[in-house]
Chains A and B, each alone.
Chain A
């Protein structure tokens, strides 16, 4: 019988780090992330976790400390939200360029001003071009399991890239759910010690990240893209091994009643899991509706998205984020994924739930009603006070 704990999403992240035997944690507190590192710092103090906790004065320094520790060969962890993630921006590029498999939890929080603490994905999606792998969770079990898989994927020498586990503020971070815990011996067998090909070593001194001329910089970027290309198979392998050992099945995407669906809603995170209930209601009314939840935003699951959406008659994309002057960010990616397909279903771009406004079952059912009566548009604002 597996042990179960009742954990809030934040503590599911902390326990994921414990199960992964992280060695160095460096973080700066920010609502709604604080509990993640608060629990880890307590565990470092009471000896539950044999790791070094480095207190810093900013998120920029937190990521810098993780980069230094990772370059020295340690398994490193941090967590942040919104303004904290934005302050890390420069260092996010450094982790990628250094090919350092730092793993970070980001609790989605809308960007200020005005100050806000509620969920929105614009913070993490703004970092999509840095080269971090990004996975979006919709349950605390998924948060917990994703940490162990993240190290397995990020530390694979074919990938060697940092990875972000993203979860919604409050809807996951502060909501308690049952989480099946992973046996430590099985975790250790699944995730062996981090063994980097190159690391900083006082016995063999060398530098990293120093000046590289136009002769070679481009090739290093090419190799980062190759790491992303290769990561698809590494992710699939990590997920199938996870399933065979621990029994839980994860994909690049999650499909819900898509096989025969005429109308498919695409979304991420908790809004997408709420959407499943809307699909059931619509199905009972005879509407052939389905839901595609994108788990991995980077690398973007082109193959899965095209496979699932190619036979749909309408595609509805729900974005709890906004790129001002462009629209919903997931919408843009889905649209570009479908552009070269022979069958290009019309795509609707819905913006909803910004700044943590609740997305209800009814809100999502209304998207299908809207698409039934209206032509597709790139930006359709739902439930906004005008």
Chain B
């Protein structure tokens, strides 16, 4: 078992840490790969009110350099709550394509 910062790198099964306690973080679980639809922000409409950030259950809304919403696609599972809650309809859910 190796560690890259907090990330655990499993080399072989024998290296497995003995318990869930020692996994230490979920920071490197790419839950974004579960997404069927992706939220896309129209920065020209976004007012930077932060409502989407408050509602996001996965802490996947970030603030860009201009104070507008941006999405962390590594974690975002595509639930669509941000698009529903946005008061100015600045977030659109678009189907993921391979």
Chain A residues with CB under 8 Å of chain B are 71, 97-100, 157, 160, 197-199, 206-213, 216, 219-220, 223, 227
Contact = CB atoms under 8 A, between A and B. Distances in A.
Chain B contact residues, majority secondary structure: loop
B29 interface: yes
Given A206-B6, A216-B10, A219-B13, A211 B26 contact: yes
Contacts of A160: 18-19
Contacts of A209: 20-21
Which of B18, B19, B22 has most chain A Cβ within 10 Å?
B19
Given A216-B10, A219-B13, A210 B26 contact: yes
8 contacts: A98-B19, A98-B21, A198-B19, A198-B21, A198-B22, A206-B6, A216-B23, A219-B16
Interface of B: 6, 10, 13, 16-26, 29, 31
Contacts of A97: 20
A100 B19 CA distance: 9
Nearest to A227: B18
A99 B26 CA distance: 18
Contact of A207 (B18, B19, B26): B26
A100 B81 CA distance: 37
Chain A contact residues, majority secondary structure: loop
Nearest to A206: B24
A197 B20 CA distance: 12
Contacts of B13: 219
A71 B24 CA distance: 12
B23 A212 contact: yes
A223 B25 contact: no
Contacts of B21: 71, 98-100, 198-199, 208-209
Contacts of A219: 13, 16
A216 to B, nearest CB: 7
B20 A208 contact: yes
A103 B55 CA distance: 40
Contacts of B31: 211
A212 B20 contact: yes
B23 A99 contact: no
Contacts of A227: 18
A210 B19 contact: no
A99 B24 contact: no
B18 A197 contact: yes
Contacts of A210: 20, 23, 25-26, 29
A160 B18 CA distance: 9
Contact of B19 (A206, A211, A213, A223): A223
B37 to A, nearest CB: 21
Contacts of A98: 19-21
Contact of A220 (B6, B16, B29): B16
